Structure 1
Amino acid sequence: MGGNRLDGTIQANICNLNDLYFLALNNNKLSGRIPSCLGNLSSLTQLYLGSNQFFSSLPPSLWLNNKIQVLDLSSNHLSGSISLNVSLLSSITDLFLSSNQFTGEIPSTLGQLQHLVNLTLSVNMLHGHIPRSFGSLAGLEYLDLSQNNLSGVIPLSMEKLQYLIYLNVSFNHLTGKIPDGGLFRNFSTQSFMGNDALCGLQLRACESPEHGESRKVRSLLKYVLPTLALILLVAIFVIVALRLRSKNTKFQDGTSLEPHHFMRKRISYYDMLRATDNFDESNLIGNGSYGSVYKAKFADGVIAAVKVFNLDSRGAFKSFDSECKAMRDIRHRNLVKVIGVCSNLDVKALVLEYMPNGNLERWLYSFNHCLDFVKRLEIMLDVASALEYLHHNYLHPIVHYDLKPNNVLLDEDMVAHLGDFGIAKILTLHNQAAQTDTLGTIGYMAPEYGAVGIVSAMGDVYSYGILLAETFTRKKPTDEMFSGDLTMERWISESFPRNIMQRVDGNLVVEGEENFAVKQICLKSIMELVLQCTQDLPENRINMKQVVDALKKIISKFHQH
């Protein structure tokens, strides 16, 4: 019964089904508590309750079923700690607990689950250390502990994991040297980013204990303590001075700090001129509907992208304000970072993080660029993660409203970042849809945009579905073949599932290659996800939490083989 629009609660009388061994209620709108009696169904081997709205802590009886093999509780509102009794799930192979509100430490008893293959605990509020017992998970292939509050070192015992294909401990508070034995040397920096005190492998070099600890002590005694009082005095002086100038402060060249609440860094117009060689054409990265983007090298060595708005263009002021408002407080690894802003009567510009590998459009359609299956999948997961944050993990949901390959930017590690919020809309909790007279990009817009001008998160989901289809078919939704009643989504749905491989980019699948069969299965799952995103009616589409979960499972399935 997964993937429907079921709401309400799970009734306890479902537990009268004594011979039930498979229960799938995932991707619905179910809420309430998970019935404790589910733990008493001794025949139950697979339980899928992910992507719903369940809350409260988990019933203790759920850990007592020693026959259960798959337990998916991801993307709910579950809280409390993970019980030490998790070790009683002695048959479990797949445990998905990500995107909840679990607190406490990761139980060391997880290391007793000898059949465990996939473990996801990401996007929770777990703290403490990664248990050394994880080194005993002999069959573990997929481990995601990202976006928690974990601290301490990565246990050396994990070097013994011979089958570990995917590891993600990013965006925690981990410290020390990354193990370099076993399969760890195969993992990229993406697995460890967002941990400022980690070192080794592709990250910064580790300091020796002598150069590290003793030097820190000497520095503290010699430099920090004598100057601490002076720093405090200077800080007080600066705060007082800034308060006196906080209203509509001007630089000497007339550059205003408005909107002052948005500023990351003060960028003057003259600094931008010098950094771009007077906006020389050789530094031009691209042109958009509301302005141009230049590569800039500032005096401090920082390389950035300067987006200058064309003030003669209709809607440029509105676009600038929208982008400032949308990006004022958001922080996510897959969103383009704003460094600063320059705003006066003559100039409106944003200074953005520079993306040396350009955009997805370039990589899909240039003859001298190539993206393999896995990299396309990772890029689309990056984009989906950014949208999930904007729609679900932010106080006021933000609709990007202009998803397309040009707005998917790639950094030096080919990690995708979503950019260009020029026509984004911020929705309130009381108004989950808004009307607009500003159009997105033809081919990517949801049907309701053109019909009644309604902007909502579900419109982004539709656009994402088109982007996902384009990424794996290498066909633009504006291709001349799509005319009349034939649209991108209809082109895919008419061939699904039997002939769907005829729609896929021929560069992705080579008959006879080692992973040919599993790649076909994964591509069918991707095209099914496209159809779930591009339903005509917004209420029939899945949401971005469900998209992220689906993509993670596809990646996991591919890596298992």
Structure 2
Amino acid sequence: MDRTILFHIFAAVSFLCIFPITCLSKTSPNITTDQSTLLALKSSIALPPDHILVNNWTTTTPTSVCDWVGVTCGKLHGRVAALDLPNMGLIGTIPPHLGNLSFLVQLNITNNSFYSDLPEELANIRRLQYIDVKVNNFSGQIPQWFGAFPKLVHLNVANNSFSGSVPQDFGNLQSLKFLNMRFNQFTGSIPPPIFNISSLEVLAFSGNSLSGFLPKDVCNHLPNLQFLYLARNEIEGQIPPGLQECSKLQVLSLSTNKFTGRIPSEIGNLTVLEKLDLDSNSLEGEIPREFGQLVNLEVLSLYGAGLTGLIPSLLFNMSSLEEIDLSKNKFSGSLPRNICPRPLLKVLFIWRNKLAGNIPSGVGNCTALSGIGLQENNFTEYGQEGLVSTNCDVYSFGIMLMEVFTRKKPTDEMFTSDLSLNRWVSEALVNGVTQAMDSRLIRKEEEHIFAEVNCVSSIFELALNCTAESPENRINIKDALALLQKIRLEFLAKLLEN
């Protein structure tokens, strides 16, 4: 009896060792599963008849799913490994079926109009290394399961409407190099485990409502960090001296927060730093002399930072510095005589301080200068001997108009080498002026909305005339004032008509 039982057990084991190979080959997900998944995604998107996906993503032609637009298959398994659909005008939701793409490594659907939330079934795609869903209309809480992707290297959810807190589980993403969560609606503090991801190179949380403090040892475990964007939040406390441990840092953006205390002199140890933005905080004290060690610094923005004391002459000796904005502080004393020993300076804004004395003759050496703002100080010989021309002054006036009516600054993080404040406003005049307007200026239900839009459009045109690339092509400041008065009168007349 025992031998009979053993024989049957042996036979059953032998059978099970062979059976799954045949059975599972019929039921396991395959390229047909991937095709059905992509068709489910297509059906959840509202596509116009002439959209490329309408006739390309279809089973009516012999084309393989691996040849569909935006689809890349892996060579080893022949399954869908990458889905790249950026900038395609897609409007719709992400179906749960997408979780069936079990071999997917890269998902890029940036700059579309996907909405609702991300289905939890996406957590099944454990091979994901690259996720980019920026510039869509996703909402709801950020999925906790993002922290369950062990191979994730790139995560970008910027410019959506995600809300709630940042998951603690993000600290599990120990392969992550790029984390961009800018311009959403996140609240709470940044989870401390995120500052322990030693592989991080980019950490971006600007444009949310995050609060709390930065840890003192913020950079102790971030040896590879190159870009730190925390602007436009509600982070408070002192700026940690421990930032000096991020020795590879190229951009440090902490503007529009609630930082207090002095600027740590240790920031001067960040010798590869190219941009430092501490705008609109409640700092105190002077600019550290150690800033002279920032030999690669190109942009220094301390607008409205709350600083006092003298402006160190060393700032104007830095060979790489191209833009300086020290406006709206309490700096006193006078400007150094040799203000442009190297004629690389392009932007110099020091308006609304307590500076006195003469305008230094060295301003005449600033041959690359395209924007200067020295107004609202106590200079005794402002403009004497033609050192500061009305063309330079009108540039500052044009920038000021753009700042007021867009609620953006030229140093805003949205502006890069490819997109400046001027270009953004210029494109808005073609594509729709409301795209660049401060949304608080106009309400859609207002009676005079068309008059208001036309008024702002005229102001934008004036601002662009004030900031033409060549000083010779800029409108004179007197003509600018006359044109602004004309715009005002025309706007009032439109209001009276209604």
Greater gyration radius: 2
Higher relative contact order (CA 8 A, sep 6+): 1
TM-score after normalising by structure 2 = 0.48
